[in-house]
Chains A and B, each alone.
Chain A
Amino acid sequence: MSQKQLSQRFIKVPWVLLLMLTFLTGPSAKDRVEGLPKALLTRAGLKFKCTECHRHVEPDSKSRKLMGEHTEIKMKHGQIWCSACHDSQDKTQLRLREGKLIFFAEVDKLCAECHGMVYRDWKLGIHGKRTGFWNGAKNILICTKCHDAHSPKFKPIPPKSPPRNRFQKKDSKLKGHP
């Protein structure tokens, strides 16, 4: 056990450096990844690090109704609960299945553990929105930019107005032959 802890501590430093390096360079040097979540909570204009509270809180891996804090979170993501993704000790980081801790900026690696096919498509540029240049620098959106991790299905939105024919006035409700 102590062997493992030691090895974890040993590998942590270069690993963090590596992560920061990959984050800085991104998937491709010229592309920009947008929508990285912050491990910060804003309350009354002040920013708290998650650990400010969570070091006093005993982790509870059971599914339950949240009281007091985080009441805005409505879990609608399969059967999973907080600790499926968040590390139960260090709430500023996420936790892969194998036990590796990752920053929020690398959330795609965590999503990929369940959604492998979607991840493959995202890497290929088939899944997800991209803006910028089709033959140059792209603005790539990371999973959590579009999907709420706690309730990933897209919420319905109001559609833009239906087409008019050329005889219809702008606010007319008449429908029919296009």
Chain B
Amino acid sequence: MSSDKPSSNPKSPAPSVINRRNFIKGVGGALASTAALGAAMSPAVEFVTDITWEEFFQQHYKELSAQDKKKIFERIRRQMKEDYGAENPSVSDPLPLQGVEFGYALNLSKCIGCRGCVQACVEENNQDRATGMEYIRVVAFQKGTMNLEESDHDYDPALVPEPDKVYMPIQCHQCRNAPCVKVCPVEATWQEEDGVVVVDYDWCIGCRYCEAACPYWARRFNFSKPEIPKGEINERVGYLSNRPRSQGSMEKCTFCLHRTRKGRYPACLEACPTGSRKFGNLLDPESEVSKVIQNKRVFVLKEELNTQPRFYYYFD
């Protein structure tokens, strides 16, 4: 409309002309949009405060070269010292052993529900103490029943075992047909050659799909940066297992691969006072876990889901 009129008219200046009114309008708009952008970004800004640039641009674990790993392990060592007061941390990534497929067997007749395994796991795997994260959940059934819907997680009698209860510890079953691996949109979780399902904590985007997909409720999410009191951190860490995690990453039981790939038993097994837990190589017919399968009546939890766990339960 105004463009039809001659521009010589002093009463209606062209919009590009900066006068006081337009200037104030422009500054106001700019300020408002900056504030809005800031407000919108604030969660992200808060979130990334403890993530370094090298962490942010780090490659997927499978694509790391030996040189990269060396650098990253050094960074993890430094962070463990700074954040958790570790004195002499050692970081490694033991590779799957040739001809080994890990399996676990648990004797429900012997388990007394003391939660010794739970505590040993928390201490071994540097789980968050602030929120009380635990990989193993021990459920109690009334004797003669095995209905998970009616199971009790919170039992707390003075002494265990209670005479009318059966206890069942549940942790990651390292399924051969793992639903959690299938749903991961970024391939941050995968199954290693020895059957252990692992997570690259730095590649994980924290969508929690895997947590929803797991029928055993074996995955845990770090809503905040894990807190570990000084002196309680386990300084011998594995890259794919018990190194300290960051906020927003998923984690899970790895059969203590930093121990088991070096030949040792998992921490939960060594903590069990009744010897209910048996661990070994499924491919070796002489291993303890194979002997259980050969000699006992074993079953897997939620067999109908075809997850094909490597975690067997048995009675004797």
Contacts and interface: CB of A to CB of B under 8 A. Distances in A.
B155 A135 contact: no
Given A159-B156, A159-B160, A166-B133, 18 more contacts: A124-B291, A125-B278, A129-B274, A130-B288, A132-B265, A134-B279, A157-B112, A157-B160, A157-B273, A159-B115, A159-B157, A160-B118, A162-B156, A163-B134, A163-B137, A165-B131, A165-B132, A175-B154
Given A156-B159, A170-B132, A126 B295 contact: yes
Report the contact-size class of chain B (Cβ under 8 Å from the partner): 35 or more
A178 B160 contact: no
B156 A134 contact: no
B157 A163 contact: no
A163 B154 contact: yes
B292 interface: yes
Contacts of A7: none
Contacts of B159: 156-159
Nearest to B275: A129
A134 B281 contact: yes
B287 A160 contact: no
Contact of A133 (B100, B265, B274): B265
Contacts of B291: 124-126
Contacts of B134: 163
Across the A-B interface, the 4 shortest Cβ-Cβ residue pairs: A129-B275, A156-B159, A164-B132, A166-B131
B299 interface: no
Nearest to A128: B275
B43 interface: no
Interface string A97-135: 000000000000000000000000100111111111111
B303 interface: no
A80 B223 CA distance: 58
B172 to A, nearest CB: 16
B195 interface: no
- Name the prevailing secondary structure of the A interface residues: loop
Given A156-B159, A168-B132, A133 B295 contact: no
A78 interface: no
Given A134-B287, A160-B115, A146 B132 contact: no
Contacts of B101: none
- Name the prevailing secondary structure of the B interface residues: loop
B263 interface: yes
B300 interface: no
25 contacts: A121-B295, A125-B291, A126-B291, A126-B292, A128-B275, A129-B274, A132-B265, A133-B265, A134-B281, A136-B263, A154-B274, A156-B161, A157-B159, A157-B273, A158-B159, A159-B157, A160-B115, A160-B118, A161-B115, A163-B153, A164-B132, A166-B131, A166-B133, A170-B132, A176-B154
Contact of A134 (B223, B264, B296): B264
B116 interface: yes
A166 B223 contact: yes
A167 B78 CA distance: 30
A132 B131 CA distance: 31
Contacts of A170: 132
B33 to A, nearest CB: 36
Interface string A135-158: 110000100001000000010111
Contact of B275 (A135, A146, A161, A165): A146
A166 B153 CA distance: 15
Interface string B272-288: 11110011110000011
Nearest to B264: A133
A33 to B, nearest CB: 14
Interface string B108-128: 000011111011000000000
B160 A135 contact: no
A159 B116 CA distance: 8
A133 B109 CA distance: 24
B17 interface: no
Contacts of B292: 126
* Among B131, B279, B281, residue most surrounded by chain A Cβ atoms (within 10 Å): B131
Interface in B257-316: 260, 263-265, 269-270, 272-275, 278-281, 287-288, 291-292, 295-296, 316
B66 interface: no
